[in-house]
């Protein structure tokens, strides 16, 4: 028998607020193309709404309290596990005001071309020795919180420097190097991992990190596999493997807006 309980303004606002919050979470996972997690959070949202409605009709406060705890725990889990992704998203909203959002207009094409040659030389060498590497190329800006996860360097790009950083005996070889213009801004940086289900299962953390940072920014990453020595690039959340030195040079020239000396191919 249905009781005389009716929906109050407070319960309606409570319901709308939680559904809106869970809607944001669902949208986040849909954007990340994680269908399983989207389905799980959709079921949790339906469960919560059902408990609120049943509580208002039949007065079952314990069940409603359990539903509220479940929702709270799920939101906390998302906030903790995906904090890097939220930081990147926040950066995208405010990057026009970030002090690092400054384009290096004072660098000549020759200076940038020299930096590209040094990067390619290092990648070729590390590929031959199967030394794992993750190099982030920032054509315009880089989030401050990403730089703060590593050690600031502000050093000129050189193959010797890059190879020294990614030497397996080096302290920061597992992190990423951030390059902007012709400078290595920081080393040993940690990047958000891609949660996309389209990423091959045999690819490890380095590749997922390389893809993840490009899903929300205009950055490009170069990944050298320590298992195979294969050179890959990630851009706009997509990974391209078996990149040759000449192809890598064309891509970097295009990314850094270097005027071509000869006819070059474009990355599509």
Same domain, 76 and 115: no
Q: Domain count for the chain, please give it.
A: 2
More confident residue, 57 or 226: 226
Specify whether 52 is located in the same domain as 135.
Answer: no
The verdict on 182 and 133 lying in the same domain is yes
CA dist., res. 38 & res. 33, Å (int): 8
What range does the domain containing 227 cover? 109-255
Regarding whether 77 and 113 lie in a shared domain, the answer is no
Confidence of residue 34 (pLDDT cuts 50, 70, 90): low
Each residue's pLDDT tens digit, 85-101: 666 566 555 554 444 44
Do 165 and 235 sit in the same domain of this protein?
Answer: yes
Is the per-residue pLDDT at 199 higher than 90?
Answer: no
94 domain residue, yes or no: no
The answer to whether position 101 is within a domain reads no
Neighbours of 9 (CB within 10 A): 7
Radius of gyration of the chain measured on its C-alpha atoms = 24
Please report, for the domain that includes residue 213, its CATH number.
Answer: 3.40.1700.10
pLDDT at 152: 93
CA distance 165 to 168: 8
Instruction: Give the chain's mean pLDDT.
Output: 82
261 within domain boundaries: no
- Which range has the worst mean pLDDT, 69-73, 81-85, 198-202, 247-251? 81-85
Asked if pLDDT for residue 112 goes beyond 90, the answer is yes
Domain boundary among 81, 100, 127: 81
Check whether 83 has a pLDDT greater than 70: no
Q: Are strands 231-235 and 151-156 parallel, antiparallel or unpaired?
A: unpaired
β-strand partners of 222: 135, 233
Residues 132 and 235 in one domain: yes
- Position 49 in a domain: yes
Q: Is the pLDDT of residue 207 over 70?
A: yes
Mark whether 169 and 251 lie in a shared domain.
yes
State pTM to two decimals.
0.66
Question: Between these two residues, 41 and 66, which has the higher pLDDT value?
Answer: 66
pLDDT range class, residue 23, cuts 50, 70, 90: confident
Q: Are residue 140 and residue 231 in the same domain, yes or no?
A: yes
What are the tokens at 133? Answer: 């590497």
């Amino acid at each position: 028998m249905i009781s005389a309980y009716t929906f109050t303004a407070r319960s309606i606002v409570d319901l709308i607020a939680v559904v809106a919050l869970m809607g944001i979470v669902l949208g986040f996972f849909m954007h990340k193309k994680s269908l399983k997690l989207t389905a799980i959070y959709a079921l949790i949202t339906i469960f919560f709404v059902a408990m609120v409605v049943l509580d208002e009709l039949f007065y079952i406060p314990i069940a409603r309290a359990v539903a509220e705890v479940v929702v709270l725990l799920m939101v906390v889990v998302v906030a903790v596990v995906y904090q890097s992704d939220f930081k990147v998203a926040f950066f995208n909203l405010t990057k026009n005001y970030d002090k690092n959002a400054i384009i290096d207009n004072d660098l000549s094409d020759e200076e940038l071309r020299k930096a590209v040659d040094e990067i390619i030389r290092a990648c070729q060498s590390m590929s031959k020795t199967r030394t794992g590497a993750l190099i982030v190329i920032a054509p315009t800006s880089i989030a401050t919180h990403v730089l703060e996860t590593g050690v600031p360097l502000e050093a000129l790009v050189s193959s010797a420097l890059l190879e020294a950083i990614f030497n397996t005996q080096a302290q920061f070889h597992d992190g990423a190097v951030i390059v902007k213009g012709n400078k290595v801004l920081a080393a040993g940086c940690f990047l958000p991992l891609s949660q996309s289900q389209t990423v091959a299962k045999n690819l490890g953390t380095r590749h997922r990190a390389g893809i993840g940072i490009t899903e929300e920014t205009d950055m490009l990453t170069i990944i050298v596999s320590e298992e195979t020595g294969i050179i890959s690039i990630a851009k706009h959340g997509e990974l391209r493997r078996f990149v040759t030195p000449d192809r890598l040079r064309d891509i970097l020239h295009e990314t850094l807006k270097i005027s071509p000396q000869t006819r070059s191919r474009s990355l599509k």
